[in-house]
């Protein structure tokens, strides 16, 4: 409970700083009056509801989804170095969005509401298509081999990353810049429609994974031992992996390829609350939220007026942490 409250306090503090600071600074009173519709100023309404609040909400939701997915993937594969990006889902969604940008320049003109939703839909479809290929090549002898999942995911991510880069080099300069920023992981284009597009996936899939937390504990045993306890190993493994893939696809479709959140959150949670997934999975979600919200605040303020993609800030933190985990695992 102390860890949960601490994570929530960190998220609220980061959200408060992100709301009040930026190119257009506001006081707490300005924010309260705007939110409560008391003597609202048009410029305050614009900054809060059109720019800052959607960005904070998407950062929190993306961090929540990636953190929970990371815990499930590491539990299913029994590999502490596994990450949602390793499965190739980020690369699949990224390649699909780059293809969309190449053919439609980032939007479908005259399509109304679907014009805004087209890019997330393409990203989501690309992630799920990659998942289908992952299952096709990782399925062996009537079961899904966790080690083959990782190997196939790494190969798929490399191939699709090369495809995305090749297509982006064929773009005109403005589209190339947009594609590059998106592939590094950015939520600068956040809006309420993107939030609506990803929210149902989180509402449906996160409870599925949380309810199967005890299965993740059992999957750390030898497979024969798990079967002897009456667990349908392949069925549960498939549900958990598909749930994780759905979460990652939904997140990547609105934020681009934000990496390392699904890697770091489970390790931090494990140190704070232990190895039982019933405690670890919710904490992973909150830690993921805190990582993305804080990193987004850093990305848009530290180098102001220039702005870094949030994926770069998280990578600056994540790469040394990954190397630390690698040396620790080797030791």
- What confidence score (pLDDT) does residue 111 get? 47
pLDDT in tens, 129-154: 888 888 888 887 777 777 788 888 88
- What confidence score (pLDDT) does residue 65 get? 94
Mean pLDDT along residues 66-77: 91
The answer to whether 73 and 262 are in contact (CB under 8 A) is yes
What is d(CA 62, CA 123) in angstroms, rounded to the nearest whole number? Answer: 14
The per-residue pLDDT of the chain, averaged, comes to 84
Domain that holds residue 204: 2-330
Strands (DSSP E) along the chain, which ranges? 139-140, 143-144
pLDDT in tens, 104-113: 765 555 445 5
Tokens 């409870």 belong to residue? 207
Name the phi and psi angles at 78, rounded to 5.
Answer: 55, 40
Sign of the CA dihedral 24, 6, 206, 68? positive
Give the CATH number for residue 286.
1.10.3470.10
- Number of domains the chain is built from: 1
Q: Which three-class secondary structure state does DSSP give residue 144?
A: strand
Mean pLDDT along residues 31-39: 82
Mean pLDDT along residues 41-52: 85
| pLDDT of 268 above 80 | yes
pLDDT in tens, 211-224: 999 999 998 888 78
Name the phi and psi angles at 290, rounded to 5.
Answer: -65, -40
- What confidence score (pLDDT) does residue 287 get? 94
What is d(CA 140, CA 277) in angstroms, rounded to the nearest whole number? Answer: 28
> Is 0.85 topped by the overall pTM?
yes
Q: Which three-class secondary structure state does DSSP give residue 14?
A: helix
């Amino acid at each position: 409970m102390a860890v949960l409250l601490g994570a929530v306090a960190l998220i609220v503090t980061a959200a408060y700083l992100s709301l009040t600071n930026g190119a257009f600074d506001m006081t707490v009173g300005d924010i309260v009056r705007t939110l409560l519709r008391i003597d609202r100023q048009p410029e305050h309404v614009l900054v809060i509801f059109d720019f800052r609040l959607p960005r904070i909400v998407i950062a929190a939701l993306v961090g929540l989804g990636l953190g929970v997915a990371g815990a499930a993937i590491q539990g299913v594969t029994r590999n502490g170095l596994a990450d949602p990006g390793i499965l190739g889902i980020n690369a699949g969604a990224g390649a699909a969005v780059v293809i969309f940008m190449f053919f439609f320049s980032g939007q479908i003109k005259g399509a109304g509401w679907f014009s805004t939703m087209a890019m997330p839909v393409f990203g989501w479809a690309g992630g799920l298509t990659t998942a289908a290929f992952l299952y096709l090549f990782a399925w062996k002898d009537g079961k899904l081999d966790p080690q083959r999942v990782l190997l196939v995911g790494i190969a798929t991510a490399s191939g699709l990353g090369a495809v995305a880069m090749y297509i982006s080099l064929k773009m005109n300069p403005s589209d190339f810049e947009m594609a590059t920023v998106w592939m590094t992981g950015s939520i600068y284009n956040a809006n309420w429609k993107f939030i609506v597009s990803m929210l149902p996936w989180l509402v449906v899939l996160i409870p599925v994974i949380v309810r199967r937390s005890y299965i993740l504990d059992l999957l750390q045993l030898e497979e024969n031992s798990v079967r002897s306890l009456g667990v349908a190993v392949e069925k549960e493994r498939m549900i958990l992996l598909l749930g994780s893939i759905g979460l990652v696809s939904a997140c990547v479709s609105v934020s681009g390829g934000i990496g390392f959140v699904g890697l770091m959150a489970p390790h931090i949670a494990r140190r704070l609350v232990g190895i039982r997934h019933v405690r670890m999975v919710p904490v992973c979600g909150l830690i993921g939220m805190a990582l993305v919200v804080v990193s987004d605040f850093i990305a848009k303020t530290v180098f102001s007026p220039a702005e870094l993609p949030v994926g770069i800030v998280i990578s600056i933190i994540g790469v040394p942490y990954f190397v630390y985990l690698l040396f620790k695992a080797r030791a």
